């Protein structure tokens, strides 16, 4: 049975070019980039070249990038580094690495506050404006949601925050390879990326910090990353993310188009098989990422479907991968107002864009079979269909 991987928002396969770029730094090139000798200088050069590649992807200045152990660390630094500066406002659909970092600041309403979203998962601008009126030290709004793919109205958020001179943190983890994203329009604040979400290795990410944005360093010690993040750099990981960023920038347009095509083909393949499905998020393709499908199969528990599909050779996820394993309703879908029963009937299918027509057809066929099997076993049990 050939497996079909449809969980690219959880993580992506490491690109072969990335592996090739990393190999020298896992074998001979073991120098510490902080060392002044030749071995160290080779590593330093590699780290700085990778920084330039990531900067090109983000349209940033290389010196404004801080390499981290991933987006969880970058988000934690962005939130916790503003501790004591005032209240932090977050959209209710932020990734747990943002929401839970804020929760560490104390009870909601005091040092931080969640701003509700509408039924498509988009931040309520009226409520954000109201909250900003009371003063804030930071607004954290993700570029696109990892579960439903909804794009946030970043332009509007940035404009409103700038009027009040409030910096903005943008979790842009889901953007590379799926949608254009640049930090050029962020007047003050920070943005995070994660290498493994766009063909790079796991355990490496980046935080872009506007040169005038005040952020208290969280990891201190050796003074690496201009004193903004201590710890010997993950040289091979950084080099891998740099190569992934380079490829991502070169292929941006084709990849986005491929994702949109794959999504249409896949949905059409489901429709042709008579599979009843409800899609969450913005119905307008301009309002969401291509290839991210938050779907409800009425009458089927998402967790059961995930397990059945895994056995049938298709990898999908329940809401976000970080909380899967437990059949808890998705926090994102709940924030969008979906009732719990419907929430628990929802799964996330996220495409990579590289799927062949045959793979998409086969995935739809396997899904359809799993739903039929489930329906007939319900009948055996006398359960409502």
| Catalytic machinery residues | 322
| 324 binds ligand PMP, rule: CB under 6 A | no
Q: What backbone phi and psi angles, to 5 degrees, belong to 201?
A: -80, 165
| 71 binds ligand PMP, rule: CB under 6 A | yes
Q: Is the Cβ–Cβ distance between 240 and 201 less than 8 Å?
A: yes
The mark string for 176-195 relative to ligand PMP (x by CB under 6 A, - otherwise) is ------------------x-
| 206 binds ligand PMP, rule: CB under 6 A | no
Separation CA 170–CA 79 (nearest Å)? 11
| 142 binds ligand PMP, rule: CB under 6 A | yes
Q: Which region among 37-45, 67-75, 77-85, 363-371 touches ligand PMP (by CB under 6 A)?
A: 67-75
The mark string for 78-107 relative to ligand PMP (x by CB under 6 A, - otherwise) is -----------------x-x----------
User: What residue has token string 């201590």?
Assistant: 230
Q: What backbone phi and psi angles, to 5 degrees, belong to 90?
A: -130, 150
Q: Is the Cβ–Cβ distance between 191 and 56 less than 8 Å?
A: no
Separation CA 329–CA 300 (nearest Å)? 14
* Nearer to ligand PMP among residue 97 and residue 343 (C-beta): 97
Helix extents (H) in the chain: 16-26, 38-58, 71-80, 96-103, 125-133, 154-163, 235-272, 302-311, 331-335, 340-344, 357-380
The mark string for 273-312 relative to ligand PMP (x by CB under 6 A, - otherwise) is ----------------------------------------
Sheet holding 346-350, edge to edge: 278-279, 292-296, 346-350
* Nearer to ligand PMP among residue 70 and residue 121 (C-beta): 70
CB of 318: closest distance to ligand PMP in angstroms? 13
| 70 binds ligand PMP, rule: CB under 6 A | yes
CB of 373: closest distance to ligand PMP in angstroms? 30
Parallel, antiparallel, or unpaired: how do β-strands 88-91 and 65-68 relate? unpaired
Residues at the site binding ligand PMP, with contacts judged by CB under 6 A: 70-72, 75, 95, 97, 142, 146, 171, 173-174, 194, 205, 320, 322
């Amino acid at each position: 049975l050939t497996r079909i991987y449809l969980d690219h928002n959880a993580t992506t396969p490491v690109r072969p070019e990335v592996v090739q770029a990393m190999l020298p730094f896992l074998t001979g090139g073991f120098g510490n980039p902080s060392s002044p000798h030749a071995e160290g200088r080779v590593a330093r050069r590699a780290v700085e070249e990778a920084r330039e590649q990531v900067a090109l992807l983000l349209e940033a200045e290389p010196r404004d990038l801080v390499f981290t152990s991933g987006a969880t660390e970058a988000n934690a630094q962005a939130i916790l580094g503003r501790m004591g500066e005032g209240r932090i406002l977050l959209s209710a659909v932020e990734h747990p690495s943002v929401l839970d970092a804020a929760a560490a600041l104390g009870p909601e309403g005091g040092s931080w506050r969640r701003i509700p979203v509408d039924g498509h998962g988009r931040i309520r601008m009226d409520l954000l404006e109201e909250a900003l009126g009371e003063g804030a030290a930071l607004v954290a709004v993700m570029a696109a949601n990892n579960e439903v793919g909804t794009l946030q109205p970043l332009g509007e958020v940035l404009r409103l925050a700038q009027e009040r001179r409030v910096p903005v943190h943008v979790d842009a983890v889901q953007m590379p390879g799926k949608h254009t994203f640049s930090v050029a329009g962020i007047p003050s604040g920070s943005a995070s990326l994660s290498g493994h979400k766009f063909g790079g290795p796991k355990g490496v990410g980046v935080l872009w910090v506007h040169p005038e944005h005040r952020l208290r360093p969280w990891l201190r010690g050796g003074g690496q990353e201009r004193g903004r993040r201590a710890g010997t750099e993950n040289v091979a990981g950084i080099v891998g993310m740099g190569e992934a960023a380079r490829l991502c920038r070169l292929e941006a347009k084709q990849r986005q188009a491929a994702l949109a095509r794959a999504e249409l083909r896949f949905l059409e393949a489901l429709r042709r098989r008579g599979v009843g499905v409800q899609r969450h998020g913005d119905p307008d393709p301009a309002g969401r990422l291509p290839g991210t499908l938050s779907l409800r199969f009425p009458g089927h528990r998402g967790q059961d479907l995930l397990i059945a599909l895994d056995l049938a050779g298709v990898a999908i996820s329940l809401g976000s991968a970080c909380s899967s394993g437990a059949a808890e309703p998705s926090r994102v879908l709940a924030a969008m107002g979906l009732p719990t029963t419907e929430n628990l009937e929802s799964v996330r299918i996220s495409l990579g864009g590289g799927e062949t027509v045959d793979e998409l057809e086969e995935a739809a066929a396997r899904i359809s079979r799993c739903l039929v099997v489930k329906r007939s076993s319900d009948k055996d049990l006398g359960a409502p269909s």
